[in-house]
Structure 1
Amino acid sequence: MEHKLSFREKLFIGSMLFGLFFGAGNLIFPIHLGQEAGANVFSANLGFLVTGIGLPFLGIIALAISGSGNVYDLASKVNQRYAKIFTVLLYLVIGPFFALPRLATTSFEIGIAPFINAQQQPLVLALFSVIFFLIAWGFARKPTKILVYVGKFLNPIFLILLGFLLLLAFVNPLGSITDAAVQGSYQSEAFSTGFTQGYNTLDALAALAFGIVIISTVKNLGVKKEATIAKYTIQSGAISIILMGVIYTLLAYLGTMSLGSFAVSENGGIALAQVANYYLGGLGSFILALIVITACLKTAIGLITSFSETFADLFPKRSYNFYILVVSFLPCLFANVGLTKIIEFSTPVLMFLYPLAIVLILLPLLEPLIGYRRLVYQMTTYFTLFAAIIDGLNAAPAWISNWSIIESIINFGSNYLPFFNIGMGWIIPAVVGFIISFILDLNFNKRIKKT
């Protein structure tokens, strides 16, 4: 007889998924958004929530209802070659190249760097990175225990520490929201700027990656039927998404209120450190260190696990234990580049990859209405790919975007792609690709039936 999950088990799975999603970037980006958005924080936060929690939840639903066990299965609806390339790129971004190094570097810069002098920081960062990924590697060696590690232990610690700091901040606010200055593009495009800032959380990509973890966890609890697995996956996902939305909103408003006592900081990590020190002094810095390191560690465990399980399936000549070793070693090297450089290089990659992920999430959700149509998947994806390349080049560092050929491509996007200037030039090409392919597929099927 199939096992029926209790509410407590669903809560633990939801807690696990929240713990996997909510890393250091999820802490620092909403606060920085709040500081820059100022009095327009409501609209900016709304846009941020669309990409920060809306898309991840849709990603979980897409994996669940499509019966796809992982992102490769889902992307195979386009074709298998595209599926392999997209899957590898996605896991490299949320794995050793960007997300994992960022976890260690953010942990260090917020949690450790305030306690040591500047001359010692490079050496201590190197040692910290080794220790951080050794611990994550140790937990990732037994992926079936991830529910215990993250859902029952690490995540409750994180929520208690963060909740304590937020309570202090809202009981005794640093400043007013209505009088806060508004920076840059948030003055006229608060929603769309918040929307693209939500890319930085990597959560829509992570939803596709962590799908294999949550589905495996539900199966390991004794659930066998695909429909039941889908139902429990969506229910557990809803728990984590609601919790994330509440915390994102509180952090964004905390960032805006902090302007009453502090200037806009270079990044949200600095702002968070200032707030913690204001309310709690040295104790605040210690609590903040625990919050950030805990948040980063639990996310690192999930990323290493999902990366290694996927690569072991795609490239079975090597074992799971080999991949967790590789994906724990490489970030140790990249983490020492520094947080600012990691964010700088990741932005154009995210502007390229995110539209492809959004399309891959939305198309399965339309299947109950239009059915599975390979041509629709292919043309929508290829039209999106064309525009996503231009979006990515537009967000590239100046030493790339200033090349004459790149400037010509960017100028083409600026002149002919609607919404390009707000970072969403892919929307109209995606819609056009979908409509054209749907009409062509309908006509093609009609001709076959007549024949």
Structure 2
Amino acid sequence: MLFAFFLGAGNIIFPPLAGLQSGENMLPAMLGFLITAVSLPLICLVAIARVGGGVSAMTEGLPTWVGTVIAAAIFIVIGPAFATPRTGLVAYEIGAVPFLGEATGMTQAIFTGIFFVIATVLALYPGKLMDIIGKALTPTLIVLLSVLAISVLFAPEVAVAEAQGGWATDAFTTGFLEGYMTMDALGAMVFGTLLVDILRRKGVTEPVAQARYMMIAGVIAALGLAFVYISLFYVGAVSADMAADASNGGAILAAYVQGLFGGFGAVILAAVVVLACLTTAVGLTTAFAEFFNSKVKLGYRNWVLLCSAVCLFVANIGLEQLISISIPVLFIVYPIAMALVIYVFARPAIAARTVTLAAMLSGAAITGILSGLNVAGVAASLVAAFDFLPLYDLHMAWIAPVTLTLLGGMLYKRGEKPLAAEEA
């Protein structure tokens, strides 16, 4: 179930485009991508398992509203604002457009309407998610993905293209940042919380047992994602002739499968994409409704319906427009989420936890906002004034303040140990 939740729109459309654009530098690009799109989600799941809950447990010690605001921002970003509508758009682009004589705004509205109606119906029964997604839809998805992945091994050898843009100068870092776009690390913080709730419904109530199941599920999901990403990266790299003018990964996949398998391949690809996007949409909608219903008692069903209605509206903006809007937001939210995860692992070695966590989150938020403004091309003079920060040009300026604050918190504990010994 967890693997199926992760494997959604971003996981399918970004690796092929990255593979095409990185070309001869595919290996370092893939390594960077796998770190943020596979390793970070797994680390996030482990962090949630350690604290036995979601963002609220991670921010323990700070005012309650801090954890609520951070969690709400994450749920909105991967919920109705960006990630969930994107599932409907990608399903339409790959699962419907190749079979339509003419793709119009009306066909898009009809398809996404049907898509989110089905997702809504499945999300209305959260107690059955393990059975519906884990035991029924996921095996089907794995079989279809395996067919696509194995086909890559037997495809005719094609020379990869030259690397483009940032992929030519620094493929690893570009791949690392591109992994942000999958939103998997943010999804892990949501799905981890949802998985804890589902385990409780299945009778697994002991924290140790919950952590064990989450670790096992996380490793399975990470291995599955790595398998898919490596395959799709290679698909993009060998599609230079078939999809040279493609603007997104969906078009690359469609061109590759059409060229290799013809009409039958297009049907297989459509089934893979629609099913993957549907399972993710269900998981995200369920998690969104569960969280907001715990804060504002409108009723779980009403939150599901509200989320789906907003998703349907946003989904009809257009895939490329939605991606361009989401990028600055991700550069703001990701550093905050990463700071939280780092803090969870370092917490046992920190004495002044509240002060340290507050400073880490503040540093991550400020540098994240600067990166978001930079990417969006807003407040150029303000953004340029901070270009002295380490890794600022790579949009990873958050690392320095978060690391320095963390070290300060850990050294403070070391400094107080001798005092405690003297008092004893």
Q: What amino acid is aligned across from residue 62 of structure 1 in structure 2?
A: A
Q: Distance in 1 between matches of 2:292 and 2:412?
A: 36
Partner of 2:78: 94
Alignment of structure 1 residues 377-416 onto 2, 5 Å:
377-396=357-376, 398=377, 401=378, 406-414=379-387, 416=388
State the secondary structure of the residue aligned to 1:259.
Answer: coil
Q: What amino acid is aligned across from residue 229 of structure 2 in structure 1?
A: Y
| CA deviation after TM superposition for structure 1 residue 114, in Å | 1.9
Q: 1:165 and 1:265, CA in 2 relative to 1: closer, same or farther beyond 3 A?
A: same
Q: 1:124 and 1:449, CA in 2 relative to 1: closer, same or farther beyond 3 A?
A: farther
Q: Distance in 2 between matches of 1:228 and 1:283?
A: 44
Q: 1:291 and 1:351, CA in 2 relative to 1: closer, same or farther beyond 3 A?
A: same
Q: Does 1:274 align with 2:252?
A: no
Q: TM-score, normalised by structure 2?
A: 0.95
| CA deviation after TM superposition for structure 1 residue 441, in Å | 6.2
Partner of 1:9: none
State the secondary structure of the residue aligned to 1:84.
Answer: helix
Q: 1:360 and 1:264, CA in 2 relative to 1: closer, same or farther beyond 3 A?
A: farther
Partner of 1:109: 93
Q: Is the 8 A contact 1:78 1:378 kept in 2?
A: yes
Q: 1:110 and 1:424, CA in 2 relative to 1: closer, same or farther beyond 3 A?
A: same
Q: Distance in 2 between matches of 1:443 and 1:208?
A: 33
Question: Which of these residues, 337, 341, 345, is aligned with residue 365 of structure 1?
Answer: 345
Q: Distance in 2 between matches of 1:78 and 1:47?
A: 33
Q: Does 1:234 align with 2:215?
A: yes
Q: Does 1:56 align with 2:18?
A: no
State the secondary structure of the residue aligned to 1:258.
Answer: coil
Which sits farther off after the overlay, 107-116 or 203-212?
107-116
Q: Is the 8 A contact 2:242 2:256 kept in 1?
A: no
Deviations 1:286-306 (CA, angstroms, capped at 9, x unpaired): 221111110100000000111
Q: Distance in 2 between matches of 1:221 and 1:169?
A: 39
Q: Is the 8 A contact 1:174 1:260 kept in 2?
A: no
Partner of 1:124: 107
Q: What amino acid is aligned across from residue 122 of structure 2 in structure 1?
A: F
Question: Which of these residues, 226, 247, 252, is aligned with residue 245 of structure 1?
Answer: 226
Q: Is the 8 A contact 2:351 2:412 kept in 1?
A: no
Q: 1:148 and 1:306, CA in 2 relative to 1: closer, same or farther beyond 3 A?
A: same
Q: Distance in 2 between matches of 1:277 and 1:78?
A: 54
Q: Does 1:136 align with 2:119?
A: yes
The two structures, once aligned, show a CA RMSD in angstroms of 2.0
Q: Distance in 2 between matches of 1:187 and 1:432?
A: 32
Which sits farther off after the overlay, 108-117 or 34-43?
108-117
Q: What amino acid is aligned across from residue 275 of structure 2 in structure 1?
A: T
Partner of 1:159: 142
Q: 1:262 and 1:329, CA in 2 relative to 1: closer, same or farther beyond 3 A?
A: closer
Q: 1:61 and 1:77, CA in 2 relative to 1: closer, same or farther beyond 3 A?
A: farther
Give % identity. 33
Q: TM-score, normalised by structure 1?
A: 0.89
Partner of 1:171: 154
Question: Which of these residues, 191, 194, 202, is aligned with residue 221 of structure 1?
Answer: 202
Question: Which of these residues, 420, 424, 430, is aligned with residue 402 of structure 2?
Answer: 430
Q: Is the 8 A contact 2:390 2:400 kept in 1?
A: yes
Question: Which of these residues, 202, 208, 212, is aligned with residue 193 of structure 2?
Answer: 212
Gaps spanning 5+ residues in structure 1: where?
A: 1-15
Partner of 1:11: none
Q: Is the 8 A contact 2:351 2:413 kept in 1?
A: no
Q: Distance in 2 between matches of 1:372 and 1:294?
A: 47
Q: Is the 8 A contact 2:80 2:308 kept in 1?
A: yes
Q: Distance in 1 between matches of 2:157 and 2:270?
A: 21
Q: Does 1:325 align with 2:312?
A: no
Alignment of structure 1 residues 64-103 onto 2, 5 Å:
64-68=49-53, 70-103=54-87
| CA deviation after TM superposition for structure 1 residue 217, in Å | 2.6
